[in-house]
Amino acid sequence: MQIAQALMLFITLLFSFIATAQERVALEDGSVLGVFMVRPAETIEVPSTLVVLMGGGPGNASISRDTSIWLGGGFSERGYVVAVPISPNNRAFRGEENNHKVEQLIVELQKRDYIAEGKVLLAGISNGGMSALEIARRNPQNYFGVAAVPALATSVVDNRPLAGFPVYLRIGGADQLGWADRFDETVNALTEAGVDLDAAILDSAPHMFRMNWTSLDAWLEKVTN
Taking the chain (225 residues) in consecutive chunks of 10 residues, what is each chunk's mean pLDDT? 42 42 95 97 88 97 96 96 97 96 98 97 98 98 98 96 98 98 98 98 96 97 95
Q: What is the pLDDT of residue 34?
A: 98
H or E element: which one contains 170?
A: strand 166-172
pTM over 0.85: yes
Whole-Å CA distances, 38 to 10, 21, 23, 107, 154? 18, 7, 11, 17, 32
Answer yes or no: are the C-beta atoms of 92 and 52 closer than 8 Å: no
Contacts 24+ apart (CB under 8 A), 16-25: 18/65, 18/68, 18/69, 19/65, 21/68, 22/61, 22/65, 25/105, 25/108, 25/109
Q: What is the pLDDT of residue 45?
A: 86
What SS3 state is found at 34? strand
What is the length of the chain?
A: 225
- All domains of the chain in start order, with CATH: 2-224 (3.40.50.1820)
Instruction: Give the list of residues 6+ apart from residue 97 with CB closer than 8 angstroms, or none.
Output: none
Task: Say if strands 81-85 and 50-54 run parallel, antiparallel, or are unpaired.
Answer: parallel
* The predicted structure's pLDDT at residue 43: 79
How far apart CA 174 and CA 204 sit, in angstroms, is 5
